[in-house]
Chains A and B, each alone.
Chain A
């Protein structure tokens, strides 16, 4: 009897994976291969082969290096990305430091407001920024009247830097705030106890401990800006790398090798930036909130310190929220040109947008929800396979999915065009022009973020909870459905919202893939509107709708998550 009982148990212990797990892992691997690996490899392959013959060559790269426009574009992209990181740091550092390390009334509101720029497409903000900060924008008109000079906030590359910094600084704010909040008070007290205080204490203890968060945020901003296509295009800056790649493919054609060479350069720089930040941070995962530690120390501000601090915070918030205000004004303006404020107000743009652009809104909701859904399904499956099974090679699923982080949208777009152009659907049209392809591109681009959320959620589910279900008779599948997924719900929803919200305003990959206006999402429609001066009003109205859409969905899901959590904790 005991032998009969022991044998199957020993057998399961030795088996590395169940057939179900193998099928699941294979399906995910196939998906990632088709829609991430093959397109990217195709792009790299084309860059390194001779047009026509298919022989290996470096001639395309030599051409790249010989062309002044590309070299200028490369250095412009570098310069813009680095300056954006610098300017974004100037916005983020005071906000993060003041709201985490001090008793600061309204810290929560400030952190929330600091997140707002992320939910607006940066290129939508760009037009508003022109009207507020441009050569003949509100601020410069006021400056000119009062002091007789203007500041070139928005001239050429300055405009890209300013717009991108306003849009992307929340990445630094969020990461840095988390790091600062995680510094246990005993870390500072130990230094004080040994004779350190004031700025020296900040420089020697607080700042180095917050460094990992800062680097994580800064490298993300660098990569995002380096890869961004829509913002420079909309500000009419063409001598940067991503716009060059786009222009080569759209104006010369899908066969021109330069678009592919530029794509490879974009990938290499992105990978290098991410690698460099990982290398600087290796072994520096400081979790300093520890057993017996004292938690977070928040210092009280003296009245005069408080006054300065609030002054700084308000100034930064006004600056970074200006695009929203500007966009709103533009959306209800009759005419706004060469004046501090619009000449008159009207709701006609909204009426026009609702009549003409209903399809954009519908498409956006459809694409972003589908992308978000694909992401959380893949995210949960990969997280489960990696954390809960012993399937050989399971880490590769994670690594491949996460590699999407380093693939610029424009590169993925080019890769999809090249790979799927020749694939014909039953009705004779190309797969590359089918709207599903846009959804897949969005899903692949957002997968790394959704995956992190799912990992975090699954790590918080104790394996004993699953074992309890299994010992009570639930199969693996039923355990996942009845125990694991419900317990992960908060993380899954968070992952869905991140994917949904960012996919709703994404343009880099979509710009390449939209073949038919009736398939276009909101961001694309916005971009088309913004091309002509007459379209700015409706474009702004569409932008406001996009912001509201994302904001409402985010709030809604936050509400669901919180209700879920409070129900579980029994409050």
Chain B
């Protein structure tokens, strides 16, 4: 797992030659339907100026629809979209000053790289000399000055992606929208390009919204993430907050691996325990707020295997996966399987399939979620 792959970068940067007048985005009570299909359900969201923000969710969750709504390609049925202090919900795409990089890059095949990048500036009637300067600066930012005369078909996927970014930032938009920008790249390029995007965003200080279904991408480069499902925003927070304190079973499941156990709370005050369906119980911290019908949620690395016979949840090992630094056991507990992750020390110390073990869950790392 590279859930914690956030790379902190700070550097003294040279002037970019591109100076966007960045702004925050405020989305208020937006609803959008296609016929009977309610795609966005009362979505509200606030993105701060200069923030690198992600819409993360499975396909069909409405994340791309929401992005296209900001760009002006979708119209909300109700609600407001504010850019800075300006309501842009009724403006057509070409009046919005919102830069979008398309998933397919959408580079025009009949124009050279330089002509592609110059396009938006030409539409804005910028003087020729300034256009030349800005095209050079934008291509310089993505490291492609020497390919200005090429046609898109002569570029690699990674180069095309950079041209698409350069084309968008050349017009100095107030915000940058990235629609699954890494999905058409191979795995190795993906890691490299996402770092470049992160560095570029830092240099420009440009509010950026990044749509992805890949939690690793979102975790590694974004300041904050909105996890979406079924047209609603499930939770907004930093990658670490979402991982440590998921607000719903969906978020817990979607970000990383989680064990989810049914059961019921018994006792009261300081003596509350969570009786796990299928046997055993877990202490509940005094401060924990437990909604009715809550399930016990915890990460595989927050369970410890103890010697057989010690107190804890007792189960039998069903399977074992060797992951390198870690070993992951599947342990049967009643009718469910609990995943347990332990650091790998030596082959001799491994538990065997069929062994009966005792598990200790760290109560302070567990969450109680009803839905």
Main DSSP-derived SS at the B contact region: loop
Q: Number of B residues contacting the other chain (C-beta, 8 Å)?
A: 32
Q: A193-B98, A196-B119 are in contact. Are A209 and B109 (CB under 8 A)?
A: yes
Q: Mark A184-223, 1 if CB is under 8 A from B, else 0.
A: 1011011111111100100011001101000000000000
Tell me which residues across on chain A come within 8 A of B184, comparing CB atoms.
291-292
Check: B71 CB closer than 8 A to any chain A CB. yes
- CA distance in complex: A27, B102 (Å): 52
What's the minimum C-beta distance from B83 to chain A, rounded to whole angstroms? 14
Do A189 and B93 touch across chains, with their CB atoms under 8 A apart?
yes
What's the minimum C-beta distance from A295 to chain B, rounded to whole angstroms? 11
Which residues 271-313 of A sit at the B interface, judged by CB distance below 8 A?
A: 283-284, 286, 288, 290-294
Do B94 and A193 touch across chains, with their CB atoms under 8 A apart?
yes
Tell me which residues across on chain B come within 8 A of A209, comparing CB atoms.
108-110
What's the minimum C-beta distance from B255 to chain A, rounded to whole angstroms? 24
Q: A190-B100, A290-B104, A292-B102 are in contact. Are A195 and B94 (CB under 8 A)?
A: yes
Do A192 and B93 touch across chains, with their CB atoms under 8 A apart?
yes
Tell me which residues across on chain A come within 8 A of B95, comparing CB atoms.
195
Which residues 211-239 of A sit at the B interface, judged by CB distance below 8 A?
A: 211
Tell me which residues across on chain B come within 8 A of A283, comparing CB atoms.
151, 153
- CA distance in complex: A209, B124 (Å): 22
B72, B95, B123 — which one has the most chain A CB atoms within 10 A of its CB? Answer: B123
What's the minimum C-beta distance from B119 to chain A, rounded to whole angstroms? 6
Do A193 and B119 touch across chains, with their CB atoms under 8 A apart?
no
Tell me which residues across on chain A come within 8 A of B93, comparing CB atoms.
189, 192-193, 197
Tell me which residues across on chain A come within 8 A of B106, comparing CB atoms.
184, 186-187, 189-190, 293
- Closest-by-CB residue of A relative to B177 is A193
Tell me which residues across on chain B come within 8 A of A186, comparing CB atoms.
102-104, 106
What's the minimum C-beta distance from B109 to chain A, rounded to whole angstroms? 5
Q: A187-B106, A189-B106, A208-B110 are in contact. Are A194 and B73 (CB under 8 A)?
A: no
What's the minimum C-beta distance from B163 to chain A, rounded to whole angstroms? 11
**Cβ-neighbour of A193 out of B99, B108, B153 (below 8 A):** B99
Do B109 and A284 touch across chains, with their CB atoms under 8 A apart?
yes
What's the minimum C-beta distance from B321 to chain A, rounded to whole angstroms? 33
- Closest-by-CB residue of A relative to B153 is A283
- CA distance in complex: A300, B123 (Å): 24
Do B123 and A200 touch across chains, with their CB atoms under 8 A apart?
yes
Do A286 and B109 touch across chains, with their CB atoms under 8 A apart?
yes
Tell me which residues across on chain A come within 8 A of B100, comparing CB atoms.
189-190, 193
Check: B180 CB closer than 8 A to any chain A CB. yes
Do A194 and B92 touch across chains, with their CB atoms under 8 A apart?
no
The 6 closest A-B pairs by CB, nearest first: A194-B120, A292-B103, A186-B106, A190-B106, A195-B123, A192-B93
Interface residues of B (CB under 8 A from A): 71-73, 92-96, 98-100, 102-104, 106-110, 119-120, 123-124, 151, 153, 167-168, 171, 179-180, 183-184
Interface residues of A (CB under 8 A from B): 184, 186-187, 189-197, 200, 204-205, 208-209, 211, 283-284, 286, 288, 290-294
